């Protein structure tokens, strides 16, 4: 039997068990509402690249400097991805080989730091990321991370406290960026703080890269030495990541990605990144990202009208975190009840957290995926009413199952997945 160039339909005949699981999960997406802030539905053009024959190719190295033959055309593909990334974000240099966000951040730390160096990063429980120095991550184990956070009253980033910490600890690097922070980040201010202590500045824009590409969130590229991002969240591309940096750091960053950390680039994913960057340059991408922000804002307002507290009192970007410190149940309890109603979210720690990370006192909602399916602000108002009703008593299984019909009705008005 030939194994070359299988057609997509082969899956059903080769492995009906996996085919059925995939089909059922796709149906699950279509029948529910996906509010996971880090997920998005990439275009068929992006998915076509991922399913292409490029999966076969080894091309360790960089365009025109490889350790393998047969690379002429994949060189062109990677160069296209690099050129488009630089154009899209106005960057001096782009590395598009990073497999995902964590290895991208690892590459930057390995390139810029020595083990034990002091770094400032946002606290995980206040919206930061595992790779911003959590003790359970390599980042917190290899480096001396000191954490900054939000003002306990406003729950907005406290730049004065960050500046004080920088003076006190004299970090070699300041990392800005978050996984669960709903306000605009003042990159210029972070640059000034970094300069005041002669530190480098890395912006991790994994969550907001699409907003930045579309101009609905300010860009850190003019201010940061290095910018890392995944490509699959608001940017709506393939699973993967990239690193943007000043030309002066290009060689160190590239050598740390390969051969420092990674082996051969995943060229199907690199091609998909090139397509994603092309899509992000189109006028409709800006319209989409503005709708993402409008939807998050409408959802936050609806939830607050429904009696729920939102961390920082609202949102300026694609996500919001519902704060349950005033309730007798956890984030996990609400997220599970919402899933029963067909609303898919993720639990989240909140400022002033009192529960464990696997329980939490918050639920994070993001609007990139649902907006890709065509949701608008009136859908968000209906969702806010449903969430507020579930939040009144997440243990009321009968009420939750009744709401499921309303969720399926909304899902039926949106594009299928
Ligand atoms: N775990 C991702 C998120 O959901 O934000 C970030 O890596």
Q: Residue 181 belongs to a domain with what CATH number?
A: 3.40.640.10
Domain end: 280, 303, 329, which one? 280
312 plus 270 within the same structural domain: no
Is 243 inside a domain boundary? yes
Tokens of 33: 């509402």
Is 144 inside a domain boundary? yes
Domain end: 280, 305, 324, which one? 280
Cα–ligand 1 centroid distance for 236 (angstroms): 14
Per-residue model confidence (pLDDT) at position 2: 52
Would you call 301 a catalytic residue per the annotation? no
307 plus 211 within the same structural domain: no
Domain end: 280, 303, 334, which one? 280
85 plus 209 within the same structural domain: yes
Is 131 inside a domain boundary? yes
Would you call 204 a catalytic residue per the annotation? yes
State the catalytic residue, choosing from 239, 336, 355, 404.
239
Cα–ligand 1 centroid distance for 349 (angstroms): 13
Q: Which residue has the tokens 């019909």?
A: 405
- Atom number of ligand 1 nearest to Cα 101: 7
Per-residue model confidence (pLDDT) at position 4: 56
Helix segments in 306-396, DSSP class H: 331-341, 368-372, 377-392
Atom 4 in ligand 1: residue holding the nearest Cα: 38
Per-residue model confidence (pLDDT) at position 10: 87
Cα–ligand 1 centroid distance for 38 (angstroms): 6
262 plus 135 within the same structural domain: yes
401 plus 291 within the same structural domain: yes
Residues in the chain: 417
Would you call 230 a catalytic residue per the annotation? yes
Q: Is the CB of 38 under 6 A from ligand 1?
A: yes
| H/E segment holding residue 279 | helix 267-280
Would you call 382 a catalytic residue per the annotation? no
Would you call 76 a catalytic residue per the annotation? no
Bridge partners, residue 65, by sequence: 62
Would you call 58 a catalytic residue per the annotation? yes
Per-residue model confidence (pLDDT) at position 1: 45
Q: For the beta carbon of residue 413, count every other beta carbon within 10 angstroms.
A: 12
Q: Which residue has the tokens 């300010």?
A: 218
311 plus 265 within the same structural domain: no
**List of the chain residues with pLDDT < 50:** 1
Per-residue model confidence (pLDDT) at position 6: 54
Residue 405's domain comprises 286-413
- Atom number of ligand 1 nearest to Cα 230: 7
Pocket test residue of 38, 103, 358 for ligand 1, highest count of atoms within 8 A of CB: 38
Cα–ligand 1 centroid distance for 179 (angstroms): 6
Atom 1 in ligand 1: residue holding the nearest Cα: 38
Q: Is the CB of 177 under 6 A from ligand 1?
A: no
Give the closest residue to 157 by CA, choosing from 185, 179, 188. 185
Is 45 inside a domain boundary? no
Q: What is the Cα–Cα distance from 24 to 15, expressed in whole angstroms?
A: 14
251 plus 339 within the same structural domain: no
Q: Which residues contact 127 (CB under 8 A, 6 or more apart)?
A: 149, 150, 178, 179, 180, 181, 321
Q: Which residues contact 186 (CB under 8 A, 6 or more apart)?
A: 157, 159
Q: Report the CATH number that the domain containing residue 290 is assigned in CATH.
A: 3.90.1150.10
276 plus 304 within the same structural domain: no
- Atom number of ligand 1 nearest to Cα 346: 4
143 plus 266 within the same structural domain: yes
C-alpha distances (whole Å) from 44 to each of 7, 174, 258, 279 are 16, 38, 29, 12
Cβ atoms of 254 and 95 closer than 8 Å:
yes
């Amino acid at each position: 039997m030939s194994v070359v160039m299988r057609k997509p339909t082969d899956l059903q005949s080769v492995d009906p068990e996996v085919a059925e699981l995939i089909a059922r999960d796709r149906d699950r997406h279509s029948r529910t509402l996906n509010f996971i802030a880090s997920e998005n539905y990439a275009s068929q053009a992006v998915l076509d690249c991922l399913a292409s024959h490029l999966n076969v190719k080894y091309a360790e190295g960089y365009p025109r400097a490889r350790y393998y033959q047969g690379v002429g055309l994949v060189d062109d593909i990677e160069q296209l991805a690099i050129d488009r990334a630089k154009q899209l974000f106005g960057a001096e240099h782009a590395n598009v080989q990073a497999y995902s966000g964590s290895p991208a951040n690892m590459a930057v730390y390995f390139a810029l730091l020595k083990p034990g160096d002091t770094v400032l990063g946002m606290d995980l429980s206040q919206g930061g990321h595992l790779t911003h120095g959590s003790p359970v991550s390599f980042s917190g184990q290899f480096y001396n991370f000191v954490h900054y956070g939000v003002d306990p009253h406003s729950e907005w980033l406290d730049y004065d406290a960050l500046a004080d910490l920088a003076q006190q600890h004299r970090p070699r690097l300041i990392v800005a960026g978050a996984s669960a922070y709903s306000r605009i980040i003042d990159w210029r201010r972070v640059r000034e703080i970094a300069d005041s202590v002669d530190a480098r500045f890395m912006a991790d824009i994994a969550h907001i890269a699409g907003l930045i590409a579309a101009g609905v969130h300010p860009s850190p590229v003019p201010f940061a030495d290095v910018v890392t991002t995944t490509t699959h969240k608001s940017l709506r591309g393939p699973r993967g990541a990239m690193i943007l940096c000043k030309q002066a750091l290009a060689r160190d960053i590239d050598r740390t990605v390969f051969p420092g950390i990674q082996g051969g680039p995943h060229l199907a994913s690199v091609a998909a990144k090139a397509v994603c960057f092309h899509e992000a340059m189109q006028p409709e991408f800006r319209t989409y990202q503005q709708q993402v922000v409008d939807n998050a804002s409408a959802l936050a307002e609806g939830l607050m009208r429904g009696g729920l507290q939102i961390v920082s009192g609202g949102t300026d970007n694609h996500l919001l975190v519902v704060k349950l410190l005033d309730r007798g149940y956890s984030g996990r309890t609400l997220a599970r009840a919402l899933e029963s109603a067909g609303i898919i979210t993720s639990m989240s720690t909140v400022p002033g957290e009192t529960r464990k990370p696997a329980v939490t006192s918050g639920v994070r909602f993001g609007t990139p995926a649902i907006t890709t399916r065509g949701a608008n602000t009136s859908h968000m108002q209906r969702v806010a009413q449903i969430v507020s009703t579930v939040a009144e008593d997440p243990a009321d299984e009968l009420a939750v199952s009744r709401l499921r019909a309303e969720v399926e009705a909304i899902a039926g008005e949106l594009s299928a997945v």
